[in-house]
Amino acid sequence: MDFPTPLLTGTLIRRYKRFFADVLLDSGETVTAHCPNTGRMSTCAETGWKVALSPATNPKRKLAYTWELVHNGQCWICVNTLLANRVAAEGITAGHIPELAGYDRLLREQTIAPSCRIDLVLERPGERCLVEVKNVTLVGEDGAYCFPDAVTARGLKHLHELGKATAKGDRAVMLYVVQRSDGQGFRPAREIDPDYAHGLRKAAAKGVEIFAYRTHSSLQSVAVSEAVPVLPF
């Protein structure tokens, strides 16, 4: 996924009220950017870190910038959770996720149950594959990439629905899109949301497949780069 316009770089002053971030641009101007991330953003939102913003294309929008990336001194981290689905879809279409290759059609945001939508549905004759995508930015104290970074009832519901789908004969996949490159392996964040970790174990026992793929982020683009091993949990 290429950024349509050049990103502006600066320094994070603070993130507050979840959706706002004050940034000192390299030009010397201080701006308030929209933060498209509802999580706690632990390990990826420290004051003084370098950030990259995209300018809004809609002149009527209240905030003129969107926070896209942050640099922790080791790597760029994509903090825009809205991009994960797009990056995953592009990676699948390009064949960069071999486990999900060979499907004829990719559909986005499909309703599979009352009040439950799945991010991606892949189809080919005789098979439907449901893919729920989760954006991963947290690194645990053990150096592993972890999800979630806050308790998620919605995420637990998705696991339940994917488990039900396998019982009906569908293929079901949890795809964790890791948006940084400074960790090792993926696991559920049991120390933050033990119910989610338990739900993931139950889903796996019902045949839900679990994959984690790391992305490479730069000031030009974000794209799937390589598989990350799923650690025992």
Output the tens digit of pLDDT for each of the chain's 233 residues.
Answer: 999 999 999 999 999 999 999 999 999 999 999 999 999 999 999 999 999 999 998 888 999 999 999 999 999 999 999 999 999 999 999 999 999 999 999 999 988 877 788 999 999 999 999 999 999 999 999 999 999 999 999 999 999 999 999 999 999 999 999 999 999 999 999 999 999 999 999 999 999 999 999 999 999 999 999 999 999 99
- Is the domain of 69 the same as that of 106? no
- Is the domain of 107 the same as that of 184? yes
Domain of residue 67, CATH code: 2.40.50.580
Dist. CA 212–CA 230, nearest whole Å = 7
Number of folded domains that form the chain: 2
In a domain, residue 52? The reply is: yes
Long-range contacts, stretch 101-109, CB < 8 angstroms, 24+ apart: 103/127, 103/129
- The predicted pLDDT at position 44 comes to 96
Q: Are 128 and 171 in contact (CB under 8 A)?
A: yes
- The predicted pLDDT at position 192 comes to 97
Structural domain boundaries, residue 71: 8-78
* pLDDT tens digits along 158-199: 999 999 999 999 999 999 999 999 999 999 999 999 999 999
- The predicted pLDDT at position 57 comes to 86
- Is the domain of 58 the same as that of 87? no
Count CA atoms within 13 Å of residue 200 on its CB side.
27
In a domain, residue 2? The reply is: no
- Is the domain of 129 the same as that of 63? no
In a domain, residue 158? The reply is: yes
Q: Indicate the residue among 49, 78, 107 that finishes a domain.
A: 78
- The predicted pLDDT at position 60 comes to 86
CB atoms within 10 A of CB 115: 8
- The predicted pLDDT at position 112 comes to 83
In a domain, residue 213? The reply is: yes
- Is the domain of 175 the same as that of 134? yes
Q: Indicate the residue among 33, 54, 78 that finishes a domain.
A: 78
- Is the domain of 42 the same as that of 136? no
Adjacency order of strands within the sheet including 222-228: 105-113, 116-124, 127-136, 171-178, 209-217, 222-228
Structure tokens at 55: 């300018």
- Is the domain of 12 the same as that of 111? no
CB atoms within 10 A of CB 198: 15
- Is the domain of 114 the same as that of 147? yes
Provide the H-helix boundaries in 130-205: 153-167, 194-205
